[in-house]
Amino acid sequence: MRFFRPLRKVLAADNKPLKYLRYALGEILLVVIGILIALQINNWNEENKEKQVEKQRYQNILNDLQNDEQTINQMLTNLTKKQDLHYYLYQLSQNNGIQDSTFNIRRVNAAPELNLISGKNQLTELEFIKDLHIRREVNVYIKYENAAISDAVRLESIIKNEVRDYFGNISATKIENYFTPERYDNSDIGNTLDMDVISKHFKDSDFKGLLIALRMSTSNALITLGALKEKNKNLQTILSDKL
């Protein structure tokens, strides 16, 4: 013990323990600060990655919406032409019109298909969208899309299962027009329905019922598709503002 007394006196005199304590505390503080800075940088990097992933998700949705917009516009054009044809047939059946060569009667047999991709692609991604407003808008859009597809499928079913069968049953199909000289090309196929045969059935209840079904189903499809088009534009605007 006597040996350590002089050393303790020297240390006490120079206040070295306090210096060592200050040095140790300083080292610990630097290490803690370094760790905190590293954690913060890592958090910034993770947040930046998440933001980039979120932006890419928005961009993917926007790309799908832009593709669907073209499909919607084309479908609206096709359905409008079909509805004009339905009214043309109605006017003929009421003796209020004359045959117009600009109307291709075979279009009444054409079943338009609505192939949209936004809902199919984004439904599985919906839960990963962090922005609640965008998630809600995408969810609403998908509902509008499903409604438009449902009405389009209903019209397609009527044409395939009722219209085509009806014209086949009354022998209004011109089979010879299907077999043109260009056997490997459909571009030369003309009017495949015989208006002279069809006109004989204008007063039949089956024809009237079919025309009503076509008119109503086409109108429903036009209405839901028009609403979807507006939702498409609105959602594109919302997403573009986020990019």
Residue 241: the pLDDT is 92
Phi, psi of 193 (to 5 degrees): -120, 140
Domain that holds residue 204: 52-242
pLDDT at 19: 61
Note the pLDDT of residue 105. 81
For residue 3, the model assigns a pLDDT of: 47
**Residue 97 within a domain:** yes
39 occurs within a structural domain: no
Report, as an integer, the average pLDDT of 169-197. 73
Does residue 166 contact residue 193 with C-beta atoms inside 8 Å?
A: no
Do the domain assignments include residue 189? yes
Nearest to 175 by CA among 95, 99, 88, 106: 106
- Is 223 contained in some domain? yes
pLDDT in tens, 69-91: 999 999 999 999 999 999 999 99
Stretch 89-106: mean pLDDT, rounded? 80
Average of pLDDT values for 99-111? Answer: 80
User: What domain count does the chain have?
Assistant: 1
Q: What is the mean predicted confidence (pLDDT) over 116-138?
A: 85
Residue 154 lies in a domain: yes
Q: Show the CA angle centred on residue 182, arms to residues 177 and 185, nearest 5°.
A: 95
Q: Please report where in the chains the tokens 């932006």 appear, as a residue.
A: 55
Mean pLDDT over 50-79 rounds to 92
- pLDDT attached to residue 178: 67
pLDDT tens across 10-47, in order? Answer: 444 555 566 666 656 667 777 788 788 878 877 787 77
Residue 70's pLDDT is 96
Mean pLDDT along residues 96-120: 81
16 in any annotated domain: no
Place 120 in a pLDDT band, splitting at 50, 70 and 90: confident
- Domain assignment present for residue 140? The answer is yes
Dist CA 230 CA 129 (whole Å): 22
Q: pTM of the prediction? A: 0.76
Q: pLDDT value at position 103?
A: 76
Assign 7 a pLDDT band (cuts: 50, 70, 90): very low
Maximum distance among all alpha carbons in the chain?
A: 133
**pLDDT, greater one: 164 or 20:** 164
At 175, the pLDDT band (50, 70, 90 cuts) reads confident
Say what percent of the chain tops pLDDT 70: 82
pLDDT at 190 over 70: no
4 located within any domain = no
